């Protein structure tokens, strides 16, 4: 069990994140009203980690919990680094990857984690979001696009990030909850590799739509998102890893460099 102080971030951190959430939620309501009037047939999909974010949310979450004393550095740091390396190489198993990181939530309720989640956003995530990334998302929102954040990272630790970006729609790996407590396992189709295409199709079906109904654009840095990039009309490789860069050049895709 972590020491009590590890679960109590400073009050000013919570106050700041509450201000962020309130401000962005109000902005989102105004934006959605504008979008409803304009109508849209453009769908824009944003990967999160190393695309909009200068870093990987899962890895950063583990580092954050280690620093907070929630996870043991000796037993967890090396496993975290190994998982990151194999993910970037595109060699890690989908279930292994998802359950490793969702497993950090096991045994506690969403309420138990909430203060730490807010501190994680305020102190770890927000400083790694560049003005260029914010501008790119805002351009698509202001144009009236249907904007979706789609990430292999689990919903619980990314939904506040989506709010910070003013993105209403989030498709993410879903952590399983039983009797109000995280089990440490994921549930449903994992939102990674081909799973991102499947989850997108499922999400669109809920509103009676298909990907072919839209002029679609996807932004990603990772070879793991090749299936999604191949599925859309306008793939954009953002500061891509070596494997994705090679594919983007071969296929003539746009390569975007975001100032970090």
Q: In this structure, what DSSP letter does residue 123 have?
A: I
Closest CA to 190 of 219, 227, 218: 227
Closest CA to 238 of 121, 127, 136, 170: 136
Active site residue 47: yes
Parallel, antiparallel, or unpaired: how do β-strands 254-256 and 146-154 relate? unpaired
d(CA 174, CA 73): 26
Q: For the chain, what is the largest distance between any 2 Cα atoms, rounded to a whole number of angstroms? A: 55
| Residue owning tokens 């969403």 | 110
Q: Retrieve residue 233's tokens.
A: 């009309």
Q: Which of 47, 145, 221, 225 is catalytic?
A: 47
Active site residue 241: no
Q: Which of 36, 49, 58, 233 is catalytic?
A: 49
Catalytic residue list: 47, 49
């Amino acid at each position: 069990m972590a020491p009590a102080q590890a679960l109590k971030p400073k009050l000013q951190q919570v106050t700041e994140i509450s201000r962020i959430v309130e401000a962005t939620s109000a902005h989102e309501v105004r934006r959605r009203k504008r979008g409803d009037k304009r109508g849209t047939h453009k769908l824009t999909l944003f990967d999160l980690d190393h695309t909009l974010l200068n870093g990987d949310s899962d890895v950063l979450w583990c580092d954050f919990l280690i620093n907070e004393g929630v996870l043991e550095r000796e037993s967890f740091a090396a496993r975290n680094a190994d998982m990151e390396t194999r993910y970037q190489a595109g060699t890690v198993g989908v279930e292994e990857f998802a359950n490793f990181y969702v497993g950090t939530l096991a045994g506690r309720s969403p309420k138990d984690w909430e203060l730490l989640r807010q501190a994680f956003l305020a102190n770890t995530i927000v400083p790694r979001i560049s003005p260029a990334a914010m501008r790119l998302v805002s351009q698509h929102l202001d144009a009236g696009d249907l904007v979706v954040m789609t990430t292999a990272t689990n919903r619980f630790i990314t939904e506040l990030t989506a709010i910070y970006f003013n993105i209403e729609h989030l498709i993410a790996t879903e952590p399983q909850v039983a009797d109000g407590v995280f089990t440490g396992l994921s549930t449903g189709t994992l939102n990674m590799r081909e799973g991102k295409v499947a989850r997108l199709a499922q999400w669109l079906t809920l509103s009676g739509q298909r990907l072919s109904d839209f002029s679609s654009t996807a932004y990603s840095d990772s070879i793991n998102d090749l299936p999604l990039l191949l599925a859309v009309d306008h793939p954009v490789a953002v500061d891509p890893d070596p494997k994705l860069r090679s594919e983007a050049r071969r296929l003539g895709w746009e390569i975007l460099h975001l100032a970090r």
